[in-house]
């Protein structure tokens, strides 16, 4: 019998603004690589280490495949630009991300997408079903926020924070998906796999065939087997070095 090993991944620190810029730029490039971008729209953010009121977000007007660490926009929670930028920030991105980061001091990064599967899922009354192993990682971990129009109203911020509560994933009904994590690696990991769950669910529903849900005790057991439950700080850390190597191979120059 082969010997089983479980080498523990090392946490890649986000200890400086330079670290935050590098890892957030990687999130944007990976969203584009895996087809989870929406031209210049949607957004991801990360707190600036050591600064209590600032975060980084994408420059409004660049494709995700064009974003580099140096091009990210630094903003305060009041919407003030901190430092020079050739681009403004997305107004809806500011409303959503400043709300989420302020409501959740335990998280470092947030990712929001408008993928075809994610938007389709957000339109279903039942939301995310415990239909497959991808989805079962999120069993009991999904929040829902009702659609209020394009997120430009500052009054919506309180409701965004309230509805997210302590969950790592939120379905923005009739809109898209949102994930939050203790690192950029975690927020990306969660988005990648909730996206896979959404794609599988929409494929199954489109088949028109009867489907089977695992029994409740299996759903609970499976959800408890994932790092997202057992050690949230390690979420995404095992895969993150491989994701950075992929970018180095496929998109040289992305670190500039």
pLDDT one-digit tens code per residue, 44-99:
999 999 999 999 999 999 999 999 999 999 999 999 989 888 888 888 889 999 99
Mean pLDDT, residues 171-191 taken together: 98
- CB environment 182-200: b (16+ within 10 A), e (fewer): bbbbbbbbbbbbbbbbbbb
In sequence order, which ranges of 113-167 are alpha helices (DSSP H)?
116-122, 133-136, 156-164
Q: Domains along the chain?
A: 17-248 (3.40.225.10)
CA–CA gap between residue 128 and residue 192 (Å, rounded): 15
Beta-strand ranges (E) seen in 137-231 are 142-145, 169-172, 176-181
pTM for this model (two decimals): 0.93
Least confident of 111-120, 171-180, 223-232: 223-232
Residue 247: per-residue pLDDT: 98
- CB environment 149-166: b (16+ within 10 A), e (fewer): eebeeeebbeebbebbee
End-to-end CA separation in angstroms for the chain = 47
Give φ, ψ of 43 to 5 degrees: -165, 160
Question: Is 2 a residue whose pLDDT tops 60?
Answer: no
Which two tokens mark 69?
Answer: 């660490």
What DSSP state is assigned to residue 70?
G
**Each residue of 189-242: pLDDT tens digit?**
999 999 999 999 999 999 999 999 999 999 999 999 999 999 999 999 999 999
Residue 116: per-residue pLDDT: 98
What DSSP state is assigned to residue 196?
H
């Amino acid at each position: 019998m082969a010997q089983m090993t479980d080498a523990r991944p090392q946490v890649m620190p986000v200890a400086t603004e330079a670290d935050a810029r590098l890892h957030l730029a990687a999130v944007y490039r990976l969203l584009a690589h895996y087809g989870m971008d929406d031209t210049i729209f949607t957004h991801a953010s990360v707190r600036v280490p050591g600064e209590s009121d600032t975060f980084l977000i994408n420059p409004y007007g660049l494709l995700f495949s064009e974003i580099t660490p140096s091009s990210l926009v630094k903003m305060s929670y009041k919407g003030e630009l901190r430092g020079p930028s050739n681009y403004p920030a997305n107004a809806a991105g500011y409303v959503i991300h400043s709300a989420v980061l302020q409501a959740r001091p335990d998280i470092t990064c947030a990712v929001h997408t408008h993928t075809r599967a994610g938007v389709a899922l957000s339109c279903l009354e039942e939301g995310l079903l415990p239909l497959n192993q991808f989805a079962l990682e999120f069993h009991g971990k999904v929040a829902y926020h009702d659609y209020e129009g394009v997120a430009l109203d500052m009054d919506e911020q309180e409701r965004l924070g309230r509805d997210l509560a302590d969950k790592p994933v939120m379905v923005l009904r009739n809109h898209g998906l949102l994930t939050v994590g203790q690192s950029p690696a975690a927020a990306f990991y969660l988005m990648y796999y909730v996206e896979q769950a959404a794609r599988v669910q929409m494929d199954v529903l489109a088949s028109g065939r009867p489907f089977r849900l695992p029994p409740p005790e299996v759903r609970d057991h499976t959800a408890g087997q994932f790092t997202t439950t057992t050690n949230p700080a390690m979420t995404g850390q095992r895969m993150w070095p491989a994701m950075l190597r992929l970018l180095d191979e496929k998109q040289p120059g992305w670190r500039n």
